[in-house]
Chains A and B, each alone.
Chain A
Amino acid sequence: MLDTAPTPIPALLRRDRPETLRAWSEYLDRELRVPHIDRRTVDEFCSGLYDGLVEALENGRATLSDGLQSLLSALSVEFAERGLTPSQTATFVFSLKHVLNERYENAAPTVIGLHKLIDAMGLHSMDAFIGRREQIIRRQSQELLDLSVPVVPLWEGILSLPIIGTLDSTRAQAITEKLLFEIARTGSRYALLDISGVPTVDTQTAQHLAKTVAAAKLMGAECVVTGIRPAIAQVMVTLGINLSNIETRFSLAEGLRHCFARLNLSVVRGP
């Protein structure tokens, strides 16, 4: 490294700390508006990052210390949760470079080590940001899965299961398990699988349905698939999907009527 500067870089940075931090803060206000995050938090992150950076330079380290890494992770998690974009998060870290460049224009060649560190900081914050996002996505899909399997008793011995949304293999498995356990728990002989909320039915969806029905049948319960819209019926016929060994009905009401008939129940209008 060329060392032409009279004062070593870390000492210089320490000396100029208050001014640089102020400049950085102003730069962030100008270039990157983060209204969802309060000033104090931003300033805390800024001074923390700055001190971490100076310390790394003093020790001649080219990698990030554990303290700096966890600070960056905390920052990224905060930004991800507040709904900031990845580029905003990266810009936040990389903007320190601009501030330092503006300030030490003449000493630019001597701060290659500094640039490397800031790049590493930016990359780490990116990793942490994406990791957090993925965590959020995983949690949400699990919540969705839990929400999406409502098994509702319609009548004594008749369960209904309204399926809403695309039926992929993960959901199909969750639905099958839930339905079968509810059948066993309540001793219901009939289950209505309502697919009016399923946007499209392809061969795979049909196969999932057939498996669910077959498993319920093994237990001794009969399933009726209801809510098959005319358009979906047409698609199923075109695809050659054969549900002939499964009881199907146009609407949930028709399915219920079928179950009543099988249970020898009739609905009579009052006098």
Chain B
Amino acid sequence: MADVHIISIDGVLVVTLPAVSDDRMAERLVEQVGERLVELAARAVLIDVTNARIIDSFMGRVLAGLAGAIRLLGAEPVMVGMRPEVAITMVELGMDLGGVATALSIEHGLAGLRARAGRRM
């Protein structure tokens, strides 16, 4: 079964999506991330889509919903590692992620979060 991996680095949750996502996984995604977020009091969530080769309109909506839920819980969502072909397809389909922050990789994402946190303090 395709499953989501959630790990925590330095107060930041990293959610890794599987290569192929099914509807059941998508349904449980928000729930699982929400639980871990509250449990660890994370300040940001990196949604790693490096493995995802296909993001269709359903998955696009799921991701936008996930980002919205993370914001509601007071954390910052960052989409990381989207593949070029996936990005092109999403733009061609007219999908956007509602202004969610993005980064090239988990590394870049963490660096960006650190830089922003530094500025705030």
Contact = CB atoms under 8 A, between A and B. Distances in A.
A98 B115 CA distance: 85
A220 interface: yes
Interface in A167-184: 176-177, 180-181, 183-184
A189 B92 CA distance: 22
A214 B104 contact: no
B108 A180 contact: no
A220 B86 CA distance: 13
B84 A220 contact: no
B79 A215 contact: no
A164 to B, nearest CB: 22
Q: Mostly helix, strand, loop or mixed at chain A's interface?
A: helix
Interface residues of A, number: 18
B104 A211 contact: no
Contacts of B62: none
A246 interface: no
B28 interface: no
Q: Is the interface of B mostly helix, strand, loop or mixed?
A: mixed
A187 B104 contact: yes
B102 A211 contact: no
Interface residues of B, number: 20
A269 to B, nearest CB: 27
A189 B108 contact: yes
B104 A180 contact: no
Interface in B2-37: none
A211 B92 CA distance: 8
Interface in A160-209: 176-177, 180-181, 183-184, 187-189
Given A177-B88, A183-B104, A218-B90, 5 more contacts: A177-B84, A180-B87, A189-B104, A218-B96, A220-B80
